[in-house]
Amino acid sequence: MKGKVTLIGAGPGDVGLLTLKGREALKHAEVVIYDRLVGDDVLKLIPKNAEKIDAGKESANHTIPQERINEILLEKALEGKNTIRLKGGDCFLFGRGGEELELLAKNDIDFEVIPGITSALAVPAYAGIPITHRDFVSSVHIITGHQKKNEPVKIDFDNCVSCKGTLVFLMGVSNMKLIMDGLMEHGMSKDMPSAVIEQGTRPRQRKVIATVGTIVDECKKQNIKSPAIIVVGEVCILSNQFDWFSKLPLKGKEIVVTRPKERQGVLSDKLKALGAHVIECPCIETKSLVDEITIDDILNRASNFNWIVFTSPAGVKSVMEPMKQKRYDARKLGNLKIAVIGKATGEELEKYGIFADIMPLTYGGKKLGEMLAKEAKQSERVLLLRAKKGAEEILLELDRAGLEYEDYPVYETFYQSDVTKVQEVSAMICDNQVDYVTFTSASTVEAFVSSIKCSMDCFTAVCIGEKTRLTAQKYGMKIIMSRNATTDDLVQCIVEHNC
C-alpha cells in the first residue's frame, strides 16, 4: 500500500507561527525531510520514532540535491510511509514545492499541501514594518533575490521601481549590492528607506534600517548574514515606532536551562515569550524506581503511616503513574495526609486530582520539616517518598521534632547530558556569550559543573531555593535567587535583574 506525502510550510522560525494543521499532521509523521530554515523548536515536534532526513538547502550548498529530495519523497511513499516534507516559510513561495509534487503526481502518490506563514509577511511584522499602509503604499511585491547556481539574478528592475509598492526580496543577502544598484540605476531614489532583517522571528533577530544608497555598507558593518530578508519602501521608516519584538524584556539574552528534559517546557516557553534565546542543556535525568509491583508495597506500607511527603514533582509522578496504570485512584491513599515541598510539586499532585494538606510558603526541605513538626502530632508517622539520595535537611527537622518516619526512595537522579549540547554551551560560556543559567535544584548545579569545563563566574546563576543557592555559591557563581520556588518567580527574577 502506498503512503502519503504532506508538504508542510513550517513558517519563518518561531514555533508559534507553525499552523495548527501543520502541527497536527507532524504528529503522525513516519519520515520527515526538513530544510535548514525550519526552526529548532519546530524540529522538536517531530515524533521520536520518525526517520529524520536533513535536506540542508543552504544557498549554493545543498546537503541533498533537489532532484534527490524528489526521489526520496517518492521512495518513502512507495514504502507505505506517512512522509512529511517540512519546509521553511511557505511551501509554494520560492520553496520549490511545485517541483517536489511533480514526481509524486506522475506516480499517482497521494499528497497534501499545508501552507505556511511566509517570512515575507511575518519577518517585517516582527521588525515593526507593516508592508502595506494606506498613508504610504497599497501594494507589496515579493521577489526572489536568488537564482539557480551559476546563473545571473533575473529581476525586472523597471517594474520594481515603477510599481511604487513595498518590495520584499527573499534569499537576496548575497546579491544585495546588485539589487540596490539595479534599483537606483532604474530610477529609485538612493534615499528610499530600506531594511534588512536577519534571523527573522527568532530570538537572535537583528535588523538594519537605512536607505537604498547606504544599506549595503551598513549591513557590512554589522556583519549581517543569511537567513535575512530585504524590505524596500517608505513603510520601513515606521520600524522603530512599531517594533514590539525588540522591546521584549529579555530580547537578546542567552539563557541556559538545565532542568530535566521532561520539565523544561514551561520555563523555556516563558523565557522565549519574553524574547530570550534559550539553550536547553539538561544535565540530570530522573528514573522511577516504582513499577506496578512495587506500588502495592508502597501502598501497603503507607497504610501504617499518617503522612505522605513528596519533595519533588518527579516523586509525585513516580508514585502516581503506576497507580494510574493499575487503575488505582485516590481512595487507595485512605485517610493519609499529604505534604509537599512547594508549588510545582503541589501542582503535579493536583494533576491526579489530589490536593496537598500542607505546603510551605518558602521552598526548601528545612521549611517543610519545620511545618511538619508543627502540624503532625507526636504519635503520627511520616512516610517520605522521594529521591534515592535525598537531602538531609528535612530529616534533621523530623529528628529534632521526635517524629517517626521512613525514607522510601521512589526515584533516583543521575547526571546525564548531551555531549554536543554541552560542547555548545561550554564554548558559549568560555566566550562570555551566556547571560544566565537557571538552576532549580542543587543536583542541577552539581551536574552542570561536572559537565561544563569553564569558569563559573562569567554568567549569572538563577537559583530556586536556598540549598541551590548555597551549592552555586560553592562554585564561585554570581547568583540571583527567586523569591519563591515557582517558574513565574524565577522568570520574574531574571526580568528584574535585567532591567
Q: What is the pLDDT of residues 185-235, one digit of tens each?
A: 999 999 999 999 999 999 999 999 999 999 999 999 999 999 999 999 999
Of 14, 57, 90, 272, catalytic: 57
Q: Respond yes or no on whether the N-terminal peptide bond of residue 409 is cis (omega within 30° of 0).
A: no
**By the 8 A CB rule, do 221 and 239 touch?**
no
Residue 59 has pLDDT above 60, yes or no: no
Residue 60 has pLDDT above 70, yes or no: no
Q: Respond yes or no on whether the N-terminal peptide bond of residue 227 is cis (omega within 30° of 0).
A: yes
Residue 262 grid coordinates: 521532561
Rounded mean pLDDT, 48-76: 85
Q: Residue 55 gets which letter from DSSP? A: E
- Angle CA(405)–CA(406)–CA(410) in degrees, nearest 5? 140
Residue 58 has pLDDT above 80, yes or no: no
Question: Quick one: three-class SS letters along 74-117?
Answer: HHHHHCCCEEEEEECECCCCCCCHHHHHHHHHHCCCEEEEECCC
Query: Three-state SS for 289?
Result: coil
Rounded mean pLDDT, 169-196: 96
Of 35, 41, 90, 435, catalytic: 35
Rounded mean pLDDT, 114-129: 97
pLDDT digits (tens, 9 = 90+) for 310-325: 999 999 999 999 999 9
Active site annotation includes 243: no
Rounded mean pLDDT, 129-156: 87
* CA distance to 27, 112, 170, 202, per residue, from 80 (Å): 17, 15, 35, 35
pLDDT digits (tens, 9 = 90+) for 240-285: 999 999 999 999 999 999 987 766 678 999 999 999 999 999 888 8
Comparing 148-162, 332-346, 461-475, the range with the smallest average pLDDT is 148-162
**Can you list the domains of the chain with their CATH numbers?**
4-116 (3.40.1010.10), 121-242 (3.30.950.10), 254-283+416-498 (3.40.50.10090), 286-413 (3.40.50.10090)
Tell me what pLDDT residue 149 has: 66
Residue 61 has pLDDT above 60, yes or no: no
Close Cβ partners of 262 (under 8 Å, ≥ 6 residues apart): 286
Mean pLDDT across the chain? 92
The pLDDT confidence band at residue 378, using thresholds 50, 70 and 90, is confident
| Most confident of the ranges 136-150, 263-277, 347-361 | 347-361
Phi-psi region of 128 (alpha: psi -120 to 50; beta: other; left: phi over 0): left
3-state helix, strand, coil in the chain (%, to 5): 40, 25, 40
Tell me what pLDDT residue 344 has: 85
What whole-number distance in Å separates Cα of residue 372 and Cα of residue 194?
A: 65
What whole-number distance in Å separates Cα of residue 19 and Cα of residue 45?
A: 13
CA 158 to chain centroid: 43
- Written as one letter, the residue type at 303 is S
Angle between helices 343-350 and 313-325 (to 10 degrees): 10
The pLDDT confidence band at residue 382, using thresholds 50, 70 and 90, is very high
**By the 8 A CB rule, do 115 and 19 touch?**
yes
Active site annotation includes 357: no
